[in-house]
Amino acid sequence: MTALIAASAEGHTDVARLLLKRGAELEAKNQTGLTALAAAAMQGRADTTRLLLESGADIETKGTSGATPLYVACAFGRHLTARLLLDSGADLEAKTTSGLTPLLIAVFNAQAEAVKLLLEHGADAEATSNAVPASAQAANAQPTGEFAGAGFRHGDSHKARAPRRTQGAVEGTKVSLMFRIYDKPGALVDVLTIMANHGISLTRIESKPTKASDKLFDFQVDFEGTPEDPRLEPALKDLRAHTVVADLQEAVNVPWFPTRARDIDEFSAKTLDAGAELEADHPGFKDAEYRERRRMIVKNATTFRHGDTIPRVEYSAQEVETWGLVYSKLREYTDKYAVSAYKEIMPLMEEHCGYAEDNIPQAADISRFLHQATGFTLRPVSGLLSARDFLNALAFRVFFSTQYIRHHSRPLYTPEPDICHELMGHAPMFADPDFASFSHEIGLASLGASDEEIERLATCYWFSVEFGLCMEDGQRKAYGAGLLSSFGELEFACSPDRPAGGRDDFPKYKPWEPEVAAVQEYPITTYQPVYFVAESMQDAKERMRDYCEGLARPFGVRYEPYTSSVSVDRALVRMEPKREELEE
């Protein structure tokens, strides 16, 4: 993120004007392809938007997903900046790579003022998209609300009750078809031409040799539509005349997963333990006042819904003192052993989020900062989640974070994640684009994954996001939160000298290979005997992406950042666990 983009997102018009006078690049983009104009439009900074337009900013520049400044303004309901863009000639019908226009995204996100504005300026009220995220199509199956009479469909507001999981329902509007053809030149082209002639647009195609003959190939394809689609019967008739076999296929059964960020509301309270409940060996187990304090803070998580602002906590003087002891100690050690990205980000968090020895920063401020940097947000949690639910949230760039702090009697020890771990260990790294993308990859890979794959992904997460190391200038540096929030283990893992972290021995270091890390055993109550070391954060991200792409998941996923949703490329049935599995 450039200084101009940051100033534009914050609405610091005078700062932006100064930067422009000093030659700041007007069309520079951040990691998601947003320019300063798009950032100002997305945050509703009208004065800054006006300045950038007057300075000649490209009004039609597109981000990595094809989003224009008008699109992002409408996606977030910034009707004032949207009006400025429209008055300056912004294209009403510009589409993203997934086929969404500003009007469609405003409708799907229930942005009433933006919809009215676009219609007033002549937006096509009959606009459609065959590539609308499946989650949006499913959520908007019934016309409700203000735009129902006009033929618009939109989802519930974030305050509405989360939709119930449907057992056995086909996800989205995909149809699966299998056909078999002879292995000869032009055979596949002929079949695809038939589909194109019937207006069928494929979302997925997969091939494999048949077991019966090496001269035959089976193809599995998926396309937008329903089994009742009038195009289907004539298309099948033509296909059967040109193939050995052509038949519809059943949708694939996969474990349930969220398709929209608001779906996280369904499982956020389904924790494996309660954050207010303590084990007998916890330092605060016998402290009734501390336990009651935890219960009060945990309530923030149980009532939180997607789109809410995280409640602020008024921390006591004793809690701030505990934080200060941890903060000063960790700042000393992270200056020595943290990756450079962490050390560059921490001063920004001190400036913008209130990180200080005498102040516990608020999760709401940190979440806002992270969202502007990489699209990640924090969400309060009431206890320990299952690995599947925790990883699924990462797919939507959502990180579950506690708001309570460890017991004051042992400020340098905690048997569980607390705000020191979350805010000193995790939060700063989520502002780094490479680390954010790394975490997002793991989350996307977890959607619909088997239990075995979830276990392997969770283990990769442990050895990277929690205890990962990478090389910088020939030295091992930490990027994992478990290390960055524990000065003793941080020194043990990174220092070339001994004793370190109160130990005389050295751990074992292995190169970062996710397929190896995925099956590595580990303890949870002692220093790690094994650490995985990447060549760089970029290397860690690329290797994790390669590993995720190699997982045997029967469908592909695409993330749409402006609707906080995912779309899939084939017909699925998201299956609920059986009741006895839930009770286990």
List the binding residues for Fe cation: 421, 426, 466
DSSP secondary structure string for all residues of 31-47: TTS--HHHHHHHTT-HH
DSSP secondary structure string for all residues of 148-192: GGGT------TTSPPPPP-TTPEESSEEEEEEEEES-TTHHHHHH
Verify whether residue 242 is a known catalytic residue. no
Q: To 10 degrees, the CA torsion angle through 472, 476, 482, 486?
A: -110
From the list 466, 489, 491, 560, the catalytic residue is 466
Verify whether residue 121 is a known catalytic residue. no
499 preceded by cis ω (within 30°)? yes
Cα–Cα distance between 389 and 444 in angstroms, integer? 12
Q: What 3-state class would DSSP assign to 336?
A: helix
* Exposure b/e, 558-572, CB count within 10 A at least 16 = b: bbbbbbbbbbbbbbb
What are the Cα distances from residue 118, in Å, to 91, 101, 160, 170?
11, 11, 26, 33
Pair 190, 153: CB distance under 8 Å: no
From the list 12, 154, 282, 421, the catalytic residue is 421
Cα–Cα distance between 291 and 264 in angstroms, integer? 27
DSSP secondary structure string for all residues of 423-440: IIIIGGGGGSHHHHHHHH
Q: To 10 degrees, the CA torsion angle through 199, 176, 101, 155?
A: 130
Verify whether residue 171 is a known catalytic residue. no
Indicate the helix (H) or strand (E) that contains 299. Answer: helix 288-303
From the list 282, 407, 426, 440, the catalytic residue is 426
Joined together, the tokens standing for residue 155 give 């989802």
Residues contributing to the annotated binding site: 421, 426, 466
From the list 65, 98, 485, 565, the catalytic residue is 485
> Apex CA 469: angle with CA 515 and CA 466, to 5°?
75
> Apex CA 267: angle with CA 481 and CA 562, to 5°?
75
Q: What are phi and psi of 472, to 5 degrees?
A: -140, 120
Joined together, the tokens standing for residue 552 give 């045997």
Runs of H (alpha helix) within 338-471:
340-353, 363-374, 387-394, 419, 433-446, 451-461
What are the Cα distances from residue 433, in Å, to 30, 84, 372, 374, 499?
9, 30, 11, 6, 35
Rg of the chain over all Cα atoms, to the nearest angstrom:
26
Verify whether residue 421 is a known catalytic residue. yes
Q: Which residues pair with 567 in a beta bridge?
A: 558
**Cβ-based burial of 212 (10 A; exposed 0-12, middle 13-18, buried ≥19):** exposed
Q: Which residues, other chains included, contact 144 with Cβ-Cβ below 8 Å and sequence gap of 6+?
A: 153, 154, 156
What are the Cα distances from residue 263, in Å, to 190, 411, 565?
41, 36, 9
**Which positions are catalytic?**
421, 426, 466, 485
